[in-house]
Structures are given as structure tokens and as C-alpha cells.
Structure 1
Amino acid sequence: MATTVIYTTLGERKGTKRLWLEGRRLARAGISPGQQFELKSLDRENGPHGGITLRFTPSGDRKVSRRKRGDQELPVIDVSGEALVSAFGEAERVRVVIRPGSIEIRVHHHDRATTERSIRLLERLNQHEPLRMGSLAHGGGILDHALHRGLEAAGIPVELAFANEADGDYLEASLANNPIWKSDSIAIEAPMQDVEWRKLPAIDILAAGLPCTGASLSGRAKNRLAKAEEHETAGPLFVAFLAAIQTLRPSVILLENVPQYGTTTSMTVIRSILSSLDYELHETVLDGFELGSMERRNRFCMIATNPEVPFSFDGLRAVRDRESCIRDILEDIDPDDPAWKAYSYLAEKEVRDKEAGKGFRRQLLDGSEASLGTIGRGYAKARSTEPFIRHPSDSALTRLLTPKEHARVKAVPESLIAGLSATRAHEILGQSVVHAAFEAVGMHLGRALAALRDSMQPHQSVAA
């Protein structure tokens, strides 16, 4: 049986929807000029709009037109008017299946998915039900904790549906310390590309902090990468991220990474795919210092939303006041504590770097400073360019920040690293986010969702 499938866009004639089909795609199914057909509505499945069937019958009230090409006459079907408006509503894209004897036209699966996710979001908001959130590259859950706190402060309750993390130790730390976990939250320890997205529950919000090891300047230099996608493990993760979105179809997507990620090929593909799925994209670079932390940590942030969500980064503001100086967050470490060390090899390296004309310098702080530089995942290794605290009386000695101090400069609740070794705590903190910055984002997003909810009539039906 000759079958042709066409994914196309409805046109317009005199202000109403129009469907135009012609040529050998019709002829190969036995459709010819002059044949009569009738329109029949299809049952509405999975949403407010179903579709229509063109059934070819001698008693039909419509007729196939003709168009001449050379010495051949080819069939033309031109349908417009209220029948299309009733069948497809606001949808613009359709799937056309041409078979002998009939043509079935349904809403394009992308448009149907857009409608379904909008209905799901609006129903939850209207009923004041918690929004369901999924988390990818969860780490210790610091990003998710910040978003949950911000959303709930704006009056939008949220529950963790699932979290995926490849490192079992990080997931264990989050399960031990992070209050966002509920009894029915699904913990998934697996590489992101191994997750079976279709087996997970529907969600309204998806948050992801894809690993930055291929996109950051230090990561590219260390791994000798020409582009982020060359990184063996982190490079291809955007593909799994997009697969999750295409399956789960959340109404809101948040992606964070280093600022350089915004110019990667990965991000170009992400923008293109999300736009094709009817998301509206909003991007910015968050300044952690301006948003309430002592660490000068900037992060790229993208939020993609359903068209009806009135979100913009305009007006984003801090949710906390930053401490006045580093001394305000320091623990009382005894001058004789073994944490104070000479680190002579770092001093020698700095001399060599200066002689070689390199710009690397140690960050040696006495506590009077208003801020400090970025602290990374490997901070416990005592690397040369990350912050050290000077000894109060011995200029030859310095120390690393303690895990609690590290949490404080990122405005991260110390409870999220409770009971962890110093190395593990620094790893989780070093690859996480400035908590205050993303709490502010969560609150800002929550206000947009609350505005959408408040614009609806009480208990208004959203599927009508």
C-alpha cells in the first residue's frame, strides 16, 4: 500500500487556516483530479485537538482539483475554513498521512507536546499543586537546593521527581544532607547517556549543570582541547541533555555552566533544538559577587520556558546581603594548627612563572579583602592560583579555606556538606554554583510562574 507521510505547516487564506497538498505524493495513492471526498473530525486524543480525515467517496461534498505540469495533470487538494480552525486550534504544524482512500491529518507531535506540557503546568499552578522537578548532573544538589528555596519563597511549591548523578559519592552526600529529597524522589546513579528517560515521571522543571571540564578555559588548556565537544566525557553530554528534554518535555528548563559555554557548538545546537520545540530562550551571565557571594564566580545561565510563562531576567536582584570582608566568614583556626603550611613549592612556582612571563599569581589573603577569586573542584590539592589565607604572624605560612569557609564564600548552607571529608566537600562545592545567585534566579522564576497563575481565573479549566 503506497503511503506518504508529510510534516508541514498550515498556510493561511483570507485570515483562516489553509492546507494545500498536490502532486505525485497524492497520485501514488490513487488520488486523481475530480475525485470527491468528505471531511471527518478525528477523536481528540492527548489534548484538546485531534485532527481530520479526508475520506474519498462518491458522495463527498468536496472535489480534488487539478494542476497541469507539462502534459500531465496532477491532483491538488485545497482545504481551508472553520473545519481546520476547529480541528487544530492554535497549532500550526501538522502530520499528513496519505494512503489509498484517505488522508489523515493530525497535529504535529511537537505542537501536541507543547500543548500538553502547557496544560500540565497550568493545571498544577491553578490547583496550587507542587511543580515536579528533575535534576541532571546533580552533584551534591546545591543548584537544586537553591532553586527550590527561591521558588518556594515566591510561593511556588516544588518537589524533586528525580535526580541523576554519575558519581555515587556525590549522590550519597546529597541523599544524606539535602532536604529536597522526598520519599518518592527517584535517585539515579548512572552516566547521563545511560538513563532511560521514558521510564521517568512527567516533570514541569528540568535543571542541569552540565560538567564544564570541556568548556572552561582551564579545562581546555589542561586537556588540550580545541573545542568543548572534544572532551571525552563532558563533551557529548549535551546530546543526552537534549534527549531528556525531547522525552520529558518540561515547561521550564534551566541550564548553567561556565560563561564560555554560551559560545560553544553545544550551546548553538541546544538553542536550535529548543527553539524548534517551541521554547522561548532567555540567557544571561550571573555575577555571583553582585548577587550576594564573596566569591567572584560568574556562571552562564539559560532558562527556556513555555511561551505563556512571562519570564525575563530583567529585574533579577540579590536575595541576601554580602559580608563586608573575608574575615567575616573565617573560622577561628589556632595559629599552631597543622593546617598552616609553608607551601614552598607554590612560592617557587610563582617565581618561575614570573620569570617565564606567565600571568599566574597566588591569591594570598589576610581577611581584609571584600572578595576572592573562583575556587574549583580540585581546591584540596592546594593549587597555585586559588585562595590561601595568610598566617596572622608568620609570613611563611598559609592555609586553605576550610570546607565551612568555602561554603560560606559561595553562600552555600553548611548543612549541605555536613559529615563529608574535606576533599569531598571541596569537590562538591568547587564544581557547584553560588547558592545565592541561583536562589535569586529561583525566586525570579517563581514570581513569573506566580504571575501566570494569578492571571488565571480561580479553578479555570485549562484544557478547554
Structure 2
Amino acid sequence: MSKSTVIYTKIGEHRGKQRLWLEGNRLARTGITPGQRFNLVAGRKSLTLQFAENGAYKVSRRKRGEVELPVIDITAAELAQALGKVERVRVLVRGNRVDITIHHHDLAESDRMGRLLQSLTKGEPLEIGSIAHGGGVLDHAIHAGLADVGMPSRLAFANELEGAYLEASLANNPVWDEDSIAIQGPMEEVEWHKLPFIHLLCAGLPCTGASLSGRAKNRLDRAEAHETAGSLFIAFMNAIQTLRPAMVLLENVPQYQTTASMTVIRSVLASIGYDVYETILDGYAMGSLERRDRLCMLAVSKGIEVDLEALEPVRQREASIAEVLEPFQVVQDRFKPYSYLADKEARDLAAGKGFRRQLLDGSEASLGTIGRGYSKARSTEPFLRHPDDSGQSRLLTKAEHARVKTVPEMLVQGLSETVSHELLGQGAVHCAFRAVGRLIGNCLRSISEQDKAAWQQKWLKTHSAA
């Protein structure tokens, strides 16, 4: 078997022309020597150097010490004609030939943008995939935002670990259609290559290892140490590299922004041709009564212009919590003393701790974050005081919880209070991500016909015979 060398390299530029430079023992070990002549033969998405005595081009030489090493320097028009305007190539040096093909990352970038622009041109729906779907609050918000600006969309598939959450979404969430694929199980086990192509991947990766409460509860020194959630970013990246969506949306707690996981996500996305944008969405500023901040990362293929600073609220926030509360007659039996919480607060105050109960009367303009375990009646989450008995209080109902997050109540219809609070407590502020959906739709609508034509020409160049 002849010796082979595989080189992944970038295309350079010399005097306005594309340039490929190869040199050294990587060539010499396969038998290539200075002075050899070769021809350039264009193929399907490839360029081949075939060595021949009367070839049109010659292998140059470079002296390193006392050793002369071969140099192949290609600036010929055949390079651009065969491969198009690409940034990276794969070079296989073997025997009496050198095969140059488009780098698989460049092919993937061209493919995902070509598919997107083809769908936009035809007016086809944006195909969306969902990971860590939960009850589909994030997905519903994105689909709603896209619809607001006239961008059709559909759910291609959704993956969720918890069967109860997936059941709830299937029963209540209108993002599903008869062709959507429901996938229940760990995302690490999903065979991404068997799923249909998508334009946008949405993910609300579990925050249990990154949130302040999660790290304290589980005594973690880093998010990646969490037993189940810590390594999920690897499955997330595998999904992206296999599905090759044109856009990726990630939602998580603000603390996730400084994790090692997020550092890896940024680095890998940049290396495979995405531009990565991040912001912290303030739910209150975006129109919700709940003060809930969330990391929003939007990674897009080159050619899609994004400005997260252009996000605008989609609704006017209520003046006070009272506007979303159930009538007293409906909730009067829910009030309890919760004496153990009062005792805990007294102990914390005596110990100099800053933990205080959130006891509200409805006149407040906002309330603090409500988490996944809200139904457990934890000490620092919002409670409503009895209007006539200050010693009693109650939790928000599932409908009230949905309203302070601006989540459509239909998404928790027919569910128990416990499951509803879990879905809502780990979900997104709906109005904030509806604004993100609008932004994505407007970004796609702003792609000019000229840009579409240029990208489609590039896509055809890399997906048809030269």
C-alpha cells in the first residue's frame, strides 16, 4: 500500500487569486519530488493533480538545510472554477495524484444555507427541531413570534426525556402536526442521522447543574459535575453537527454563560462556520410580571445578519400582580399557615442570613423567579397573603403561574398543579422568546434577493458536477 497524507487546510489569497500552498515531508513521503510535472483535472466538487512527464505545471522546491523539499503552489483559475469560493479544503496525497476536495465543514455550511434559502424562496415553512422540549413553552413562543411576522414554521421533531412532559405537549401544544416526530428518551441516545433536516434547532438544556440553586443543592463546584445534566452539551453538539441547521437557539440560566460547557459550545460552533450571538433576556423588561433572566444564544450561518440588541417587547406588562390573580372565591381554600416557613424565616434572621419569604398582596408590580419545584412550597418563592389573615398565605395557581410568565394557559390544560408548576418553572418567559422568534423571522425576511441568488449559486456549485 502506498503512503498517504491527508491535509486539512485553508485556501489563501495571492494577488487577488485563490491560492493553495502545500509543502514539505507531507508530500515527499508519498514520492513527490521537486521538478515533477502535473496537470490539473477538474472533477465533481474536486480538483486532482495528476503527475505526467509533459504536465502543464511543475512542483517547485524549497531548501531546508541541506534537504530539498517539494512545494505545490496553485493559483490557477482551475482552483476557483472547480471548488468555488471556499475557505477550507481536504487534500489527499497518495501515489501519483493529489485529490483536493471541499472541506466537509464548508460543504455543511453551504448545504444548510442552500436549503434555507431554497425554502425561503419557495415560501415553505421553516423546519424546526426541539431538544429538551419540556412542555414546549420555548417552542410555542418561537413559532408564535415567527407567525407574527408572517414566517411560516412547523415542528419537525421534538426530543424530551420525561414522558409526562412530552405527553402534556402532545395534548396541548399546537406546534405539533401529523408529521412531527415525537422522541421520548435521553438525548444522548437519539440517532440524529435518522431525523429529517431542519433549519432551526431550539434547545432548553437543563439548568440543574448551572443554576445557583442547583449547584448549592447538589454541592457542585462546576456545572459539568452534575450527574445527569453535566454532559448534555456533548449530545447537543452532536445533534448540531449531524443535523446541520442554519440556526441554533439555546436557552438557559444566565450562569450557564460562564460554564466550561458554554465555552466549548462557542468554540465548536465558531469552528464549523457559525456566528454566535448572546444576550441575557430580562423577562420583566420584555413584558412579564416575573423577574426572570435567561441566557439566549443564537448561532447563525454566515450570511444571516443578527442584532440581539434590536429585540423589542411584544406586549405591555400588567400594572400589578392583582391583574392576573384568580377571584378570591376560587382560591380561598388554598390558604394555609405554612408555619414551618415562618419558623425558618425567624431562624434565618436570627442567624444573620438574608433569606426572606416573598409574601405578596397583589399590589406589587412584579414578583421573583418561580422555579421547577414551586409546588413544594419553598421558603424564598412567591406566596400571596390572605387579605384578612396575615398568618396565612398560598401558592399561585397553575393558571396564575402561567400568566406571570405570559405562557398560554392552554399549555398546562388538564395537568395537575405539580406537573404544571414543573413545566412552567423550568420553562422560558414566553413573551421574551416570542420576541426572539420575531427577530429571527425579520432577519430571514431581510435577506435580499441578491443574497439569496448568490448563496444559491454557491450551493449549486458545490452540489453539482463542475
TM-score computed with the length of structure 1 as normaliser: 0.96
Match of residue 22 from structure 1: 23
- Which of these residues, 84, 88, 95, is aligned with residue 90 of structure 2? 95
Equivalents in 2 of 1:340, 1:154: separation in Å? 43
Deviations 1:318-360 (A, max 9, x none): 1111111111000013388431100000000000010111111
Alignment-derived partner of residue 384 in structure 1: 379
Verify: 1:61 aligned to 2:56, yes or no.
yes
Q: 1:457 to 1:13 in 2, by over 3 A?
A: closer
Q: Which residue of 1 aligns with 2:393?
A: 398
CA contact (8 A) 1:126 1:453 kept: no
Q: 2:423 aligns with which of 423, 428, 437?
A: 428
CA contact (8 A) 1:126 1:458 kept: no
One-letter amino acid of the structure 2 residue matched with residue 135 of structure 1: S
For residues 11 and 450 of structure 2, the distance between their equivalents in structure 1, rounded to whole angstroms, comes to: 30
Any stretches of 5+ residues in structure 1 without a counterpart? 44-49
Deviation at 1:240, TM superposition (A): 0.6
Tell me how far 1:87 sits from its aligned partner. Answer: 2.1
1:50-89 equivalences in 2 (<5 Å): 50-89=45-84
CA distance in structure 2 between the aligned counterparts of 1:434 and 1:3, rounded to whole angstroms: 55
2:126 paired residue number = 131
Q: CA RMSD in A?
A: 1.5
Moved more, 57-66 or 189-198: 57-66
Alignment of 1:328-343 (within 5 A): 328-334=323-329, 337-343=332-338
Q: Secondary structure at the match of 1:96?
A: strand
**Alignment partner for residue 179 of structure 1, among 174, 199, 203?**
174
Whole-angstrom distance in 1 between the partners of 2:331 and 2:165: 33
Correspondence list, 1:219-238, <5 A: 219-238=214-233
Hey, what does 1:311 align to over in structure 2? 306
Q: What percent identity do the matched residue pairs reach? A: 59
Shift in Å at residue 65 of structure 1? 1.6
In structure 1, the partner of 2:443 is 448
Alpha carbons 1:350, 1:361 under 8 Å: kept: yes
Residue 346 in structure 1 maps to residue 341 in structure 2: yes
Q: Does 2:321 match 1:326?
A: yes
The one-letter amino acid of 2:154's match is E
* Cα shift readout 1:16-49 (whole Å, capped 9, x = no counterpart): 1111112222122121122111000011xxxxxx
Partners of 2:156 and 2:406 lie apart in 1 by 25
Paired position in structure 2 for 1:194: 189
Structure 1 position 226, deviation (Å): 0.7
1:85 is paired with a residue whose SS is helix
AA partner of residue 28 (structure 2): A
- Check if 1:295 corresponds to 2:290: yes
1:371, distance to aligned residue in structure 2 (A): 0.4
List aligned pairs for 1:242-261, cutoff 5 A.
242-261=237-256
Secondary structure class of the residue paired with 2:367: coil
The number of aligned residues is 458
Cα distance in 1, alignment partners of residues 192 and 452 from structure 2: 34
- Does the 8 A contact of 2:117 with 2:452 survive in 1? no
Shift in Å at residue 460 of structure 1?
9.8
**Aligned AA for 2:380?**
T
In structure 2, give the amino acid aligned to 1:83.
Answer: E
Q: CA deviation at 1:89?
A: 2.1
Q: 1:454: Cα distance to partner?
A: 5.6
Partner in structure 2 of residue 114 of structure 1: 109
Q: Is the 8 A contact 1:403 1:425 kept in 2?
A: yes
Larger deviation, residues 409-418 vs 82-91: 82-91
User: What amino acid is the match of 1:322?
Assistant: R
Q: Does the residue aligned with 1:452 lie in a helix, a strand or coil?
A: coil
Deviation >6 Å, runs of 4+: 457-460
Q: When the two structures are superposed, what TM-score results if normalisation uses the length of structure 2?
A: 0.96
State the partner residue of 1:419: 414
Q: How far off is 1:129 after superposition?
A: 0.4
- Distance in 2, matches of 1:236 and 1:67, equals 47
Deviation at 1:13, TM superposition (A): 1.4
Q: Give the match for residue 46 of structure 1.
A: none
Q: In 1, are the aligned partners of 2:41 and 2:49 still within 8 Å (CA)?
A: yes
1:84–1:235 CA distance, 2 compared to 1 (3 A): same
The answer to whether the 8 A contact 2:114-2:456 is kept is no
1:12 aligns with 2:7: no
For residue 40 of structure 2, what is the aligned residue in structure 1? Answer: 39
Per-residue deviation, residues 244-297 of structure 1 (Å, max 9, x unmatched): 011111111100101111111111111100000111111100010011100000
Q: Is the 8 A contact 2:117 2:456 kept in 1?
A: no
Between the aligned partners of 1:379 and 1:115, the Cα distance in structure 2 is 46
SS in 2 for 1:159: strand
Question: Is contact 2:162-2:184 (8 Å) kept?
Answer: yes
Three-state SS of the structure 1 residue aligned to 2:267 is helix
Q: What letter matches 1:340 in structure 2?
A: F
The corresponding residue for 1:363 is 358
Contact kept in structure 1, 2:129 and 2:157, CA below 8 Å: yes
- Secondary structure of the residue aligned to 2:35 is coil
For 1:334 and 1:18, locate their aligned partners in 2 and report how far apart those are by CA, in whole Å: 78
Distance 1:201 1:149, change over 3 A: same
1:103-161 CA distance string (max 9 Å, x none):
00011110111011110111111111001100000000000000000011111111101
Give runs of aligned pairs for residues 246-285 of structure 1, distance below 5 A. Answer: 246-285=241-280
Greater alpha carbon shift after TM alignment, 444-453 vs 138-147? 444-453
Paired position in structure 2 for 1:154: 149
Quote the offset at 1:461 in angstroms.
5.2
Q: For the residues of structure 1 that align with 2:89 and 2:117, how far apart are their CA atoms? A: 24
Residues 126 and 460, structure 1, Cα contact 8 Å, conserved in 2: no
Q: What's the CA shift string for 1:375-409, capped at 9, x where partnerless?
A: 00000000000011111111111110000000000
Shift of 1:455: 5.7
